[in-house]
Structure formats: structure tokens, C-alpha cells
Structure 1
């Protein structure tokens, strides 16, 4: 019987040998820099998280979470834990659910690479979007809570929270297509003709609604398994994994999130395509998009096939970065090798969406 994603990624494990941290040195450092921190400290590694190694720090009085850059040769601009820390710190006073950002350490002698420490959100992560162990009522409530959280993020004024310079203004889609095209090529392992076609087609096919100068804080990887929900309710307690956050176009962020409705149930990024969502209590793609548009006071989203092609391409490029780390020996998750097997399928799916949007 295949192991479920819930079993594979939930909880912690012993720290991998190549990612070990000197507990005594870290304990002494955090006691000096975090109010109320007191050992003895034990460290375990979270099973989830394929980009930045993430650790559970336990002390007699409190649990914390540490995220660090992986060791080894890294792609330019990748693994920006300092940006993660900055955006969570800035969003702390807003309605957006984020962990409490407690300390950023740029001194690589403490843990081997730059890291930050945040509060531990005691709750649940749903690793499977169809939430097989939940009732229809709970699924409906969780998806509504998740919708409200991304709408809250997109309605925060970046300048009001000190993030006016968190990214470049304008031309977000063009810049993202350029960035992920370069990242894909830098990590390329096996040639994929669909990715080359997408790199050529995407920039010239941008729909008008993607060319507007709308700018908000975008998460960059908003998925159900990047949100911690309360143990006994559907409340979203904390949005995690802000590595790809920046200033960008809200439609890029939200339609990436909507990929969940278009991706197959089996794959590196499992989705809900083909499932009877109404029977499960989960809103349809159209219903979910309508709720978001109502919350953010925007017109309904058109040109969805283009946005799906763009996002499937982007996911494939992200996974190709993991493939490059597997090749170079710096991948931080046991599941990384399995994850990268989904790249060819995602590239094909992205090109199918592009064809539906008019690509030849």
C-alpha cells in the first residue's frame, strides 16, 4: 500500500547528518538573542520542506521553528531566508495569519548558514488537498478560511507595512517568466521540448489583465499544505514558506493557487482534477474564484487557460531547481528525488493549457 502524503510529510525526524546543527552553540546563541529562551534544547527536522531545511526546536517551556539556507552551491537569489523573515515580521500586525518572526541570524558560524527563528504554530497541516479524513463541512470551512487568508494578503498595502521596496513595481509576469526561464535552464537535466516552447510563447501571449500595474504582496507558493490550521477548527493560524514572496500581481499569486483545481490527484503537486468536489464539500474552481473576487472587490478572472499555462510552467521550473539540487547533492528532503519525476508531466500539462489558450 502506497504511503499517503499525510504520512510522508507530517511531523519530524532525526536531523539528517549533512544538515546537523551544533545544539549547544545554537542554544547559547538563542539564549542571548530571544527573550525568554532557555534550554536545554533538542532539535529535530521537519519531514516537509524541500527547499530550506526546517527544524523544530524544543525547550522545557516553548517550541520554536528554525529555517535555514541549505549548505552547498545555491542558485542566485534562491533560499532567501532573510526575505522570509522580513515579510513575516512586517505582516505580524496585519490580519494575515503568519508565525511570529523572532530572530534573524546572518552569522554563518552559528548554524553553518543564515537562519531565522519563528514561533511554532500548534495546529494541523493538510498535505492532501482532498482532505480524505475530513467531513464535507470541515472541507468547506477550511477552503473558505484559506480563501479569506490569501484575500487578506492581497489587500495589505505594502508601503503601510514597510514593504514598498520588497520587489520591483510593474511587469511582474514578464519578469517572472524571464526569471523562471533562466532558473530552469540553470538547473536543466534532461531536455523537455514543451518547456522550450513555453519559454518562447509565454512572453508574447500575455493577456491584458496581466499587463495592469496592480501590485500587492504575493506569497509565491500558496497551497493548502503551506497553511497551518487550528487543531479544533478551520481557522488559518499561520501561512508558511514565504521564500518566493515579493511584490507582484495578485492574479499571478491567486491563479497559481487555483492550479490545485486543475492538477491531477497523483503527482509532485497533487491536485483535485476529476474529483466530485460538490460531493466532498469543496468549492468548484469557479466558486472559489468568485469568493476571492468578492473579497478583493475585483472583476471575475478571464483568460484562465493562459494563467494555468504560466503557472504549470512555473511549477515545472521550480521542480527543476530541486532536480538540480538532487544532481548537485544539496536537496534537503528524502522525497526530492520522487518529486522531480513529475517535471515532464507538468511541462506537457502546461503546453496543453497553452494550446487551449491559442498557442500553435
Structure 2
């Protein structure tokens, strides 16, 4: 039987003893009954994710291939599970946490288990196959879901997220500057100026919230038939940070085209029903009761700079192999075009 589009057989580098896992679940998970079938979700190489099917039950298993900086794999998984549990208890749409296993003897690494949430998973932000009304409703639902995340009080909930919030932007900019300089392969005037401008122009507005950090439409699960988010996925880089940085990162499909990922550049927003960036941001502001956004160009420049730094890292690593693939070469063009766009937002002038 063919697997659904989001699933694939477990990849060789991520295989584990499924018999050991089945025995562990029989002993530790109420109502679990063998036989157990395991498939892997596509993507997520740093945190591979698997669908576990057993009679009458579907669960998601998540483990880590790489620990968070400064943590062991056990500490990373334990922290991830504590965060997911706190978010579920706070009422965010999440699969119900079922158990965490820190014993590496079971499958070779620590892992945690959630209930699988059935729904629609969109990888292309253009939402092909939908009509204009449906697309508009999906984007409205995404804006509301992000606002719901940002309305949570991390301190009151005791969320074990990274960061202290108030200095999030300064720390992120400093880290990105260091990362770019370590991977620099050529001089790009716009990028050089951004390296100086961003640290000197961080807004001091005092806004803090829980940040998802990678709030993209493909990290959301929507109700099977309604325009409603039923699960928020991929909390690996969640932090106590700045909500508008999260929003700007979410808006990147409006601004950039990255190899292998969807883009909203050049589409007809009226014909497709997808809200333009201004209208989408307005929906988010309405959901949060905000009258507007100060320093929006800074947040967009920050998010674009983040994309450029990541693309530069991919290009540097890929170009060290011989020969570099066309996709790797395309990332060099992404760095230059995105850097120019970011600099145009704050000053102007292409390089």
C-alpha cells in the first residue's frame, strides 16, 4: 500500500529496533497493543519524527539527531517534552503528550510520544487546489494561531523556553553576525552594511512573548474540513523572545524564494484569495488587539538577514564539495538578493 505523501519508510540512518520499542510501549503506554508499524515523516533531519501505528492508535515519536547547543540529547528531549506538555496544558492546539523516555537503551536515543492529530498539512503556501475563499480562511486561521501563541505568558506558565526575552533580538543579531562572518565567501556591500546597521538599531520596545521561531504554514496541521489549526508542530527553536520577529519570519514567503520551498512572490492576491502581506499583518494585529506595528521594516530586515545567513551557510558547506550542485549555487544568489532587499528596507541601494 502506498504511503501518504508526508510519510516515507524509516531512513537507514534513523532506523532503530522496533521490537524493543514495541516491548517498551507495552510496558509503559496504557492501551497499547501490538503489532507496531513505524514510518517516518519527511523532513526534520535534526529532529526526525515518526508515525507509530498500532491497532486503534496512532502516535508521533520524536527524537533528536543533534542535541541543542549546550545540552545533551537527554536534556534536550526532556526540555522539549516539558515545553510541549506546558503548551498543551495552556490550551494550544497540540497532540496530547503521552510519555518521555530518557533511556537510550530502548531505541538508541531518548524520545517522546504524542497523540497523532489527524488533519491537513500544507507544504505549498500557495495552497493549490483551493478556491479564493478557502485560501483566505486558511491564512486568517494561521494569523489567529500565531496570535494565540504570542498571548501566552511564558513566566506565568513556567514554560521551559530558551532566552530571557528582553535581549532576544540583540543576542540573535550578534549570533547571526558571527555565523555569517564564519561562512563568508565574498564581499556583498549590502550584507556588510547590515552587519553594522542591525546591531545598532535593535528596537527597545520591551515586547516579549513565547516565540515559535519557525512558524511556517507547513508546521501547522489544519482541521480536515474547517479553516482551523488543530496542531502546531516543530518547537525545536522556541524561545522567550520578540513576537514581531516571529511574525516577520512567518512573512518571509512574501519576500523571498528559497530553493525547494514555496513562495508568494509575484502571485495575484485578489485572484488567489491569499491576503497580501499588509492585510495578513493586519489580521494578526486584530487578533492581538494591536493598533499597528512600530519598526516593522527592522523586523523584516532582521528576518531577511536571518535567511541570508542561513543561505550563506548552506552555500559555504555545499561549495566545499566538488562539484557544487546547481541547487547549492542557487543559494549564493539567494544571499545577495535577500541582503539587497533587507538593506533597501532600511536605507536603499543595491550592490
Please state which band the TM-score falls in when normalised by the shorter chain: 0.7 to 0.9
* Secondary structure at the counterpart of residue 109 of structure 1: coil
Tell me what 2:254 maps to.
261
Does structure 1 retain, via aligned residues, the 8 Å contact 2:10–2:38?
Answer: yes
How far off is 1:138 after superposition? 1.0
Does structure 2 retain, via aligned residues, the 8 Å contact 1:323–1:337?
Answer: no
Does structure 2 retain, via aligned residues, the 8 Å contact 1:124–1:229?
Answer: yes
2:267 pairs with 1:275: yes
2:238 pairs with 1:245: yes
2:89 pairs with 1:93: yes
How far off is 1:189 after superposition? 7.9
How far off is 1:323 after superposition? 6.7
Does structure 2 retain, via aligned residues, the 8 Å contact 1:171–1:211?
Answer: no
2:156 pairs with 1:156: no
Tell me what 2:205 maps to.
212
Greater relative contact order, per chain length (Cα 8 Å cut-off, separation 6+) = 1
Deviation per residue, 1:11-69 (Å, 9 max, x gap):
21111111111101111222333222222211111113243111111111211111111
**Structure 1, unaligned runs of 5 or more:** 1-8, 330-335
How far off is 1:87 after superposition? 2.1
Does structure 2 retain, via aligned residues, the 8 Å contact 1:201–1:359?
Answer: no
Tell me what 1:60 maps to.
55
Does structure 2 retain, via aligned residues, the 8 Å contact 1:42–1:57?
Answer: yes
2:328 pairs with 1:345: no
Deviation per residue, 1:140-196 (Å, 9 max, x gap):
11111111100111111112322276531311111111233344556x385564655
Match of 1:131 among 97, 108, 127: 127
Tell me what 1:179 maps to.
175
What TM-score, normalized to structure 2? 0.85
Task: Give the alignment's Cα RMSD to 1 decimal.
Answer: 3.1
How far off is 1:356 after superposition? 2.8
CA distance in 1, matches of 2:312, 2:21: 33
CA distance in 2, matches of 1:325, 1:338: 12
CA distance in 1, matches of 2:326, 2:110: 25
Tell me what 2:343 maps to.
354
Does structure 2 retain, via aligned residues, the 8 Å contact 1:320–1:340?
Answer: no
- Residues 106, 359 of structure 1: alpha-carbon distance in 2 compared, 3 angstrom cutoff: farther
* Secondary structure at the counterpart of residue 110 of structure 1: coil
Tell me what 1:332 maps to.
none
How far off is 1:217 after superposition? 0.7
Does structure 2 retain, via aligned residues, the 8 Å contact 1:157–1:216?
Answer: yes
- My pick for the range that moved more, 291-300 or 105-114, is 105-114
Deviation per residue, 1:71-120 (Å, 9 max, x gap):
6x986569844443222211113342122222222222222223221111
CA distance in 2, matches of 1:201, 1:152: 32
* Secondary structure at the counterpart of residue 29 of structure 1: helix
CA distance in 2, matches of 1:253, 1:63: 31
What TM-score, normalized to structure 1? 0.83
2:306 pairs with 1:314: yes
Deviation per residue, 1:282-303 (Å, 9 max, x gap):
1111111111112212231243
Tell me what 2:27 maps to.
32
Tell me what 1:3 maps to.
none
Does structure 1 retain, via aligned residues, the 8 Å contact 2:82–2:160?
Answer: no
How far off is 1:312 after superposition? 1.8
CA distance in 1, matches of 2:328, 2:121: 19
How many residues are paired up?
340
2:106 pairs with 1:141: no
Tell me what 1:45 maps to.
40
Structure with higher Rg: it is: 2
* Secondary structure at the counterpart of residue 221 of structure 1: coil
CA distance in 2, matches of 1:105, 1:185: 39
